[in-house]
A and B are shown apart, each in its own frame.
Chain A
Amino acid sequence: MVAPANISIESLNLMTLVPMLIPIIGALLILVIDLFKSEQDRSLYVMISLLVLGVDFVSLMDAAGVFNKNGTVSGVFDVMLIDGLAILSQFIVVGASMLFIPLALTHKRFHEFSYPEFFALFLFMIAGFQFMVATDNLILIFVGLETASLSLYTLIAMHNRDKSFEAAVKYFTMGALAAGFFSFGSMVFYALTGSVEINKIAEVLSANNYADIGFVLVGVVFLLASFGFKLSMVPFHTWTPDVYEGSSAALAGYMSIVPKIAAFVVAMRIFEFLIHSGVVWLEVVLYIFVVITMTMANVWALVQTDVKRMLAYSSISHAGFVMAAILIGSTQSNSALFLYWVLFSFTNLGSFSMLWISRQKNLPAHQQSDHSYNKFAGMIKTAPVAATIMALFMLSLAGVPPFALFWGKMYMISSAVTGGYTILALIMALNSAIAGYYYLKLIVYMFMKDPIVEDSGHIYSANATLPLKTIIGVAAMGTIFAFVAVNHLLEFITAFVYNSGY
């Protein structure tokens, strides 16, 4: 006879669940509204989502306050783990989502935004990502990952174009493979240590002094491959450009930021202790991954003829750049990762939104694809403000000071220098120079070539409405005036990362 479990509610610390429950409730609310009165305008759903995310953001600020006072909090049978990393990454997830969701209010009608399911799925996805980062339990990570990914596949497919289905199916297949790898890797670690919690795994492994190093490596290989897919590391990156091309520009920008920060946090939790315990093999493999991802993605980006595909490769390269933080594994590098990603989300969302507002329904004759380079030829003559803003985002992506991404790049390279990775620092610097070329190519098209079609200024903002312009304005302001905020951001992030022991 099993004794009845006797657990006090307080010890469960249910407050740790609040930030995830808010978007879930919001999603259910949207579904309920649809149940009672369907055929509502999309603006209603956008605003409800925005409000829910706003409340979520406030609850995160609350959690940040608790963390500042009491340090790391765990709850629900120690499954939830609210440490600095969890809070910082949730800030990025929710913040970037708040910048993304108003992009649904386009001038042209895209039918996916007329479905309430789109917004419900979107909120479920956010909850998934939040679960994924706020735990060190491999099972919950897996559940969060799958919730988020399945929603995301559907969101992509809802953009009703031939290439969207291709993208969704491709992403789904690759994602399924990654999920398989992840569960297999977790299984190996569970078999080795009898636990699915990362800190317990670390304890057990160091207690027996990595006796079964062979099995550890097998587990690491599978986990690495699965994160390789999620973070689009070369050679697991092949889906990225196609998926970005197939989904709407706004969603592509979103995908280059939010899923990746969640994956980075999980990768940080898992690989950090392995690297610090001297698994040299992992260090070498990560080193190779980082360098190849950065360099190859840059080289491929050079030869793209479509701006969106170029940005897709560029975001792979940026992910490789940031992956270096996990390799270096110091407090400075981990802080640099978050700093970089916050600044990157402004700039990258901004540049994808610029593509989004220039989205046409039908392709003119001189364009092979939605956002081919020659579409932007001579933009300075026809739409000077838009061209300047786009150039601003490109310069920021290239790392030209004083724009946002420069500070992230600088701090990241500095962390490589401090961590003793001199060669890596040089490779990172030179990669930024290579990347300069393809960002410059767009600037050259916009500023130095003559327009192909006269009086074509309106196409660059054909899809623009006030909410979209506001989002771009926010992104542009964030990009220009980053230098004002960097100090506070850095102090905040460093304190959080340091206090969670990374």
Chain B
Amino acid sequence: MLDHILSILIFFPALAAMLGFVVHKESMRSYGVAVATIEFMLSLWLWYAFDSTASGMQFMEQIALVPTFGINYIVGVDGISLFIIVLASFFTMIGIASLSSDTKDIKNMIITLLFLQMTMAGVFAALDAIVFYLFWELSLVPMLYIIGAWGGPLRIYASVKFFLYTFAGSLVMLVGMLFMAYFYFQATGEWSFAILDWYRLILPENFQIWLFVAFFMGFAIKVPMFPFHTWLPYAHGQAPTIGSVILAAILLKMGTYAFIRFSLPLFPDASVYFMYPIAVLSIIMIIYTAMVAYAQKDVKQVVAYSSVSHMGVIVLGTFALNVEGISGSIFLMLAHGVVSGALFFLVGVIYDRRHTKYMSEFGGLAHVMPRYATIFGLMLMASVGLPLTINFVGEFLSLLGFYKQSHILTLLAGTAIIVGAIYMLAAYKKMFFGVITKDENRHLKDVNKRELFALIPLVIITVWLGIYPKPVLGTINTSVESVVSLMHEKAQTQEAKMRIPNINEKSDSAKNSQGEAH
């Protein structure tokens, strides 16, 4: 069974969703929770069976799809994708569990979420560009439906904007993929869309640059990088809580993950060439969205913009192009998923009670809802990057990585943490401290069991991985090292050879010195 565990992880929720049409509406929530729990257990089993000392792909499966044209269903995981898959199934589980039973059309919602889980697992496990593209595009459809059917007043505009923006970017990416396959065909005489095959292909720098741009269009819109970020505030603003949670926690990570999976190892020279422009874009994204967040009246928008801001740190870490930066950015992806997911949950909690998200409507909530205020405070501190919380590890490593490339830009990015602290603390002050100004707020109920079921695990992860990140970070590191050494080997320009550190040299010299010692 372990041979096919990835396929099971991908298609089990889809199958369950189909069968879900038969389940009665009253029992749907229990069914959804049961299925998602099984899925989560499977993903934990995957983690358990994963050999964290090996750097290559594990649990690979290959089925011919269109072999004439080099398209095969190939899946596999390494340390980079493993934890995102676990995180995705985890969020699907707590997401479904936290749905209140008076959600309208709960059956459709749960079926959609299960389909979404299939596409998420598929994107992160796919090792064939077309299969990757297939799940990548397919993930838009459930999200479109979630935003469009359960969202706020502007939901249709928001969902269509989300879909079209991402769809347009992905089609440019598809052209890039077809070019890549064509170059592979020219070099070897065979069509192939397998990413591992592509890794072996060395392209001239000017080709790399064009292809990098084509892929960048798809990824940057998904992340979303400045200036392509305009769809995100709408999507978050209109989406129901569950939609925002999954969007922020998992779907955005597809973009940053794809940078590490495609852009860096395929186009090392172009990555170096574009390192500074992208770093500048990320820093604009970090600082600008932080300032926008400060100006918001709506607490959900604050969380949304802070989420974009932190995505900037992730991209910055990725384009540090060294092991610290990339490992840090992958860790930050997980951290950001946990923390911003939790924050969206928390916003959802108060929205369920008051049906408003304006901070001016609240104030003094700490007196009425002490447990809620505590959890919110903790998550907020994590989001700001307080040491000993999960975000700190990722942010620190990402910035450390980029510090090796450029001191000034890193310092600029570092200020974002301070700005982040300002707007987050200001928001917290407005909502929780002071006297209660509105009568409606006097008798709000504190978080109930159902909500705690979603929140407590997130709190535990936040603190646990903040204090002891090794079990996750070690595994990530092993895989990232192999990516960086591949990049170093493939790099052709002098600049790239210099920017991308040579890991093998270090380990070689370490081995040599060991040899001498013996």
Contacts and interface: CB of A to CB of B under 8 A. Distances in A.
Interface of A: 380, 395, 398-402, 406-407, 410-411, 413-414, 417-418, 422, 425-426, 429-430, 432-433, 436-437, 440, 443-444, 447-449, 483, 486-487, 490-491, 494
Contact of B148 (A400, A407, A433, A444): A444
B174 A413 contact: yes
Nearest to B65: A483
B175 A440 contact: no
Contact of B178 (A398, A417, A447): A417
B61 interface: no
A331 B42 CA distance: 46
Interface string B150-161: 000001100110
A414 B168 contact: no
Given A448-B159, A486-B66, A426 B137 contact: no
Sorted nearest first, the 4 A-B pairs with minimum C-beta distance are A433-B168, A401-B134, A429-B171, A448-B148
A325 to B, nearest CB: 15
B172 interface: yes
Q: Which of A432, A444, A494 has the most CB of B within 10 A?
A: A444
A429 B172 contact: yes
Interface size class of B (residues with CB under 8 A): 35 or more
Given A417-B175, A437-B160, A440-B164, A411 B69 contact: yes
A440 B160 CA distance: 8
B134 A490 contact: no
19 contacts: A380-B108, A400-B137, A401-B130, A401-B133, A401-B134, A401-B138, A410-B178, A417-B175, A417-B178, A425-B178, A429-B172, A429-B175, A433-B167, A433-B171, A447-B148, A448-B148, A448-B159, A483-B66, A490-B66
A486 B138 CA distance: 19
Q: Which of B68, B160, B167, B181 has the most CB of A within 10 A?
A: B167
Contacts of B472: none
Contact of B68 (A433, A440, A491): A491
Contacts of B276: none
A444 B64 CA distance: 35
Contact of B182 (A402, A417, A429, A437): A417
A486 B137 CA distance: 19
A58 B68 CA distance: 27
Interface string B72-92: 000000000000000000000
B171 A432 contact: yes
Given A430-B171, A448-B149, A437 B164 contact: yes
Interface of B: 64-69, 108, 130, 133-134, 137-138, 140-141, 144-145, 148-149, 155-156, 159-160, 163-164, 167-168, 171-172, 174-175, 178-179, 181-182, 185
Nearest to A486: B66
Q: Which of B64, B67, B168 has the most CB of A within 10 A?
A: B168
Q: Which of A401, A449, A494 has the most CB of B within 10 A?
A: A401
A80 B113 CA distance: 57
Contacts of A417: 175, 178-179, 182
Contacts of A486: 65-66
Contacts of A449: 156
A371 to B, nearest CB: 20
A406 B134 CA distance: 9
A69 to B, nearest CB: 22
A436 B166 CA distance: 11
Contacts of B168: 430, 433, 436
B178 A490 contact: no
B164 A429 contact: no
Nearest to B169: A433
Contacts of A494: 68
Nearest to A429: B171
A321 to B, nearest CB: 13
A450 to B, nearest CB: 11
B164 A433 contact: yes
Contacts of A433: 164, 167-168, 171
Contacts of A413: 174-175, 178
Nearest to A418: B182
Contacts of B68: 487, 490-491, 494
A490 B159 contact: no
B178 A414 contact: yes
